[in-house]
Amino acid sequence: MKIIYQIVALSFLMLLFTNCNNKKENISTSSFLNNNIEHKVDSVLALMTLKEKVGQMVQYNGSWDVTGPPSNVSDKDKLENLKNGGVGSMLNVVSVRKVREAQKIVMENTRLKIPLIFGYDVIHGFKTIFPIPLGESASWDLKIIKKSARIAAKEASASGINWTFAPMIDVSRDARWGRIMEGSGEDPFLTSKIGVARVLGFQGNDLSKNFTIAACAKHFAGYGFAEAGRDYNTVNVGIHELHNAILPPFKAVAKAGVATFMNAFNEIDGVPSTGSENLQRTILKEGWKWDGFVVSDWGSIGEMITHGYAKDKKQAAELAVKAGSDMDMESYVYQNYLEKLVKEGKVDISLLNDAVKRILRVKFKLGLFDDPYKYCNEKREKTEIFTKENQDFAREDAKKSIVLLKNSTNLLPINKKIKTIAVIGPLADDKDAPIGNWRAKGGSNSAVSLLEGVKSAVSKNTKIIYQKGCVLVKKDDKQHTGFLFPLTFNTTDKSDIPAAVNAAKEAEVVILAIGEVALQTGEGRSQAKIGFSGVQQDLLEAIYKVNKNIVIVLMNGRPMQITWAAEHVPSILECWHLGSQSGNAIADVLFGDYNPSGKLPVSFPYHVGQEPLYYNHKNTGRPFNPVNVTYSGYTDSPKIALFPFGYGLSYTTFDYKNLKLDKSEMNKDGSIKASVEVTNTGKIEGEEVVQMYIRDLVGSLTRPVRELKGFEKISLKSGETKTVTFTLNRELLQFYTANNKWEVEPGDFNVWIGGSSKAKLMTSFTVK
């Protein structure tokens, strides 16, 4: 066997030199190696020096775009190391010209010409921007979600990128956490399904295609459980919560073939995730038999020193490589210490071999060895980005992500022939907020604003009165160097309110756009307050005094505290940060061209003090006591959600009946079919997300009061009935039990099917 590898390696070497002499840009291996990537990987590895192996494990930021604390390594040193084969990947190098330039340095100067892989945060679109991931998750529409990832991959790959740092599949239950905008909310089942859809969208079924890119499951693990919702903060969860609530989406995408993982900034139970051998080796690589590579988060290896886990950079490198972090993003500790650690016998070369093989494997799968410049196509860059077709899809995606939270007087949909309408609010004509955080190459101020959307929807005879009501001001945000000039709400100036009130007096209906600016959520954007900032609440109450026909268009990246609004205002549309086509999509819903179908992927609290708030909580020993205060609640706030997980209204109504099981007992490997009849009882066609929840009543460990275990989005004409059937089986009923194993435990289960996590139709079955 060894001899074969040596022969293969030798032939490969000869080919490399032939290619060098011919000054060819690629080092195609296909002529003499069979298609087995493993052989190719081994052949390349056999040629590599220790230094070159370390080089593959180093990732540099391109200096053009900074998405973390900048390093003090000079561009000159970076260039030198690129030439020496000291770098395996770059991030934030975007555009065909820049990618080609960097790749050329490596192809023309390094001994082995191993191509760089180029990573970028393509989180909710590249230049065509889609709803923020939390918003898009509200569509519960896996086809739409997969397609938006596919389009993002097409645009990114047309601009030189072959690897995205997405999807973020951190389950999060805390509205204060700024990065809640980047995930799919509080439920592991929903997050798993959406995570897989995104991975398949980015990667397709063949990574070597020109328009697919490698995905990255992040952040492994626990990042969304930061204490107090404060970004980067400590995480304290037990092993069972880790397996049952945090890891399922990661396991699902590993199984679906995600090419890479990114580890996390946080510690769990005293061990930084970046240094966790249990997470990266025992669970991910050995347990799940996953063969991709793990990239660190930005500087997270070096930060193990600040955590108090490593005494210096050298030890940080040792701990991280032993734990299974394969690539160092911007800590510069692999580059500076790995070689030494191997030579001193502190780190076994087999660990580096494993890491490098994983990295090479992804590069081979992407086809980079066949053509290192395959993503550098100027024609594609000119023609495939921000196309009309992509914009049309962005509108479709955005309208499906909108959630109708309240419509108590049926103010919505508004007749397009309405005589006078007031469009008010600091976000009403703002073209930037909808672009959201993680906007990749989406330009500032590039969205269709709500006002623009309304103008193109209504009849020529409709009078539109626009007033800001309060202004946005520039925020001094030196802390976040990558994001220039973020805006914020003015906290003192109320001088624009009277004009807005006058506009409201004149109008039949007021559309009020309030919420959060783009960079109020995202990395490092945790908040202790989640209500309307600045003078927005004053504006709302002033308008309400003169005109009660208000539709709030809420634009935001997290669940907000909107208790007063929910109590007083008749109509509220949750519009997140919806991307490039925001205004058109909102107008589609406001004027009834699209009947809203979104459902919340996160709970909205009455009060921020309820956070973390999530529907799938445990019961406690004192869930409720109607006669005194000694139960698990609050004395000054409800304990339930204002708007619960899975909730969302439509312009029509749906009735659920005849919840039936095909049997009342099953054994652990059997299955039960649960079905329900859903009828559209309203006057117009609509879509409904039918949701199934279960409760395992008694377990070796306590189980959540409800857990989502199935959903299907259906479309029903007025008066139409459909039967929806779900199958319950081992995969859905098992959990990580007191035996530290995934098991189905015998006992009784409840099952609910309905239109939200508060579904009332319930029946039961027993597992023997």
Q: Where are the alpha helices (DSSP H) in 388-533?
A: 388-401, 450-457, 497-506
For residues 43 and 67, which CB has a smaller minimum distance to ligand NOJ in the complex? 67
Closest contact distance (angstroms) between CB of 263 and ligand NOJ is 10
d(CA 175, CA 224): 10
Q: How many other CB atoms are there within 10 angstroms of residue 394's CB atom? A: 27
If you compute the radius of gyration of the chain from its CA atoms, what whole number of angstroms results?
27
- Whether the CA torsion 700, 704, 705, 706 is positive or negative: it is negative
Candidates 55, 68, 425, 704; binder of ligand NOJ (CB under 6 A) is: 68
Q: Which of residues 80-109 bind ligand NOJ (CB under 6 A)?
A: 91
Residue 713 token pair: 């989005």
Closest contact distance (angstroms) between CB of 67 and ligand NOJ is 3
Candidates 140, 250, 298, 735; binder of ligand NOJ (CB under 6 A) is: 298
For residues 297 and 328, which CB has a smaller minimum distance to ligand NOJ in the complex? 297
HSE value, Cβ hemisphere, 13 Å, CA-based, for 404: 28
d(CA 662, CA 272): 47
Q: Give yes or no for a contact between 292 and 261, defined as CB atoms under 8 angstroms apart.
A: yes
For residues 438 and 765, which CB has a smaller minimum distance to ligand NOJ in the complex? 438
Alpha carbon dihedral 25, 33, 291, 207, in 10-degree steps, equals 50
d(CA 239, CA 645): 25
Q: Which of residues 107-136 bind ligand NOJ (CB under 6 A)?
A: 121
Catalytic residues: 297
Q: Give yes or no for a contact between 526 and 176, defined as CB atoms under 8 angstroms apart.
A: yes
Q: Which helix (H) or strand (E) holds 559?
A: none
Q: Give yes or no for a contact between 66 and 93, defined as CB atoms under 8 angstroms apart.
A: no
Binding track, positions 12-51, relative to ligand NOJ; x by CB under 6 A: ----------------------------------------
Residue 56 main-chain phi, psi, to 5 deg:
-65, -25
Closest contact distance (angstroms) between CB of 577 and ligand NOJ is 17
For residues 219 and 709, which CB has a smaller minimum distance to ligand NOJ in the complex? 219
Identity of the amino acid at 223: Y
Q: Which of residues 595-654 bind ligand NOJ (CB under 6 A)?
A: none
HSE value, Cβ hemisphere, 13 Å, CA-based, for 535: 21
List, as one string, the DSSP characters of 348-410.
-HHHHHHHHHHHHHHHHHHTTTT-TTTT--HHHHHHSSS-HHHHHHHHHHHHHH-EEEEETT-
Q: Give yes or no for a contact between 247 and 222, defined as CB atoms under 8 angstroms apart.
A: no
For residues 12 and 126, which CB has a smaller minimum distance to ligand NOJ in the complex? 126
CA distances from 538 to 116, 285, 450, 557, 633 (A): 53, 54, 21, 21, 30
Q: Which of residues 424-453 bind ligand NOJ (CB under 6 A)?
A: none
For residues 232 and 656, which CB has a smaller minimum distance to ligand NOJ in the complex? 232
Q: Give yes or no for a contact between 139 and 178, defined as CB atoms under 8 angstroms apart.
A: no
Beginning with the edge strand found earlier in the chain, give each strand of the sheet holding 216-220 in spatial order.
216-220, 260-263, 293-295
Closest contact distance (angstroms) between CB of 177 and ligand NOJ is 12
d(CA 352, CA 358): 10
Q: Which of residues 141-170 bind ligand NOJ (CB under 6 A)?
A: 165
For residues 120 and 693, which CB has a smaller minimum distance to ligand NOJ in the complex? 120
Closest contact distance (angstroms) between CB of 247 and ligand NOJ is 18
d(CA 541, CA 300): 45
Q: Does 267 bind ligand NOJ (CB under 6 A)?
A: no
Q: How many residues bind ligand NOJ (CB under 6 A)?
A: 9
Q: Give yes or no for a contact between 242 and 231, defined as CB atoms under 8 angstroms apart.
A: no
Q: Which helix (H) or strand (E) holds 564?
A: helix 563-568
Q: Give yes or no for a contact between 292 and 326, defined as CB atoms under 8 angstroms apart.
A: no
HSE value, Cβ hemisphere, 13 Å, CA-based, for 129: 31
Q: Does 328 bind ligand NOJ (CB under 6 A)?
A: no
Closest contact distance (angstroms) between CB of 303 and ligand NOJ is 11
For residues 438 and 576, which CB has a smaller minimum distance to ligand NOJ in the complex? 438
Closest contact distance (angstroms) between CB of 248 and ligand NOJ is 20
Q: Does 272 bind ligand NOJ (CB under 6 A)?
A: no
The answer, yes or no, to whether the previous bond of 228 is cis (omega within 30 of 0) is no
List, as one string, the DSSP characters of 62-121.
-SSS-SSPPP---HHHHHHHHHTT--SEEES--SHHHHHHHHHHHHHH-SS-PPPEEEE-
For residues 216 and 310, which CB has a smaller minimum distance to ligand NOJ in the complex? 216
For residues 44 and 199, which CB has a smaller minimum distance to ligand NOJ in the complex? 199
For residues 298 and 369, which CB has a smaller minimum distance to ligand NOJ in the complex? 298
Q: Which of residues 511-530 bind ligand NOJ (CB under 6 A)?
A: 523
Q: Does 297 bind ligand NOJ (CB under 6 A)?
A: yes
Q: How many other CB atoms are there within 10 angstroms of residue 101's CB atom? A: 14
DSSP letter assigned to residue 346: S
CA distances from 226 to 69, 237, 354, 526 (A): 20, 10, 31, 10
Q: Does 67 bind ligand NOJ (CB under 6 A)?
A: yes
DSSP letter assigned to residue 605: P
For residues 68 and 644, which CB has a smaller minimum distance to ligand NOJ in the complex? 68
Candidates 218, 365, 374, 400; binder of ligand NOJ (CB under 6 A) is: 218
**List of residues contacting ligand NOJ (CB under 6 A):** 67-68, 91, 121, 165, 218, 297-298, 523
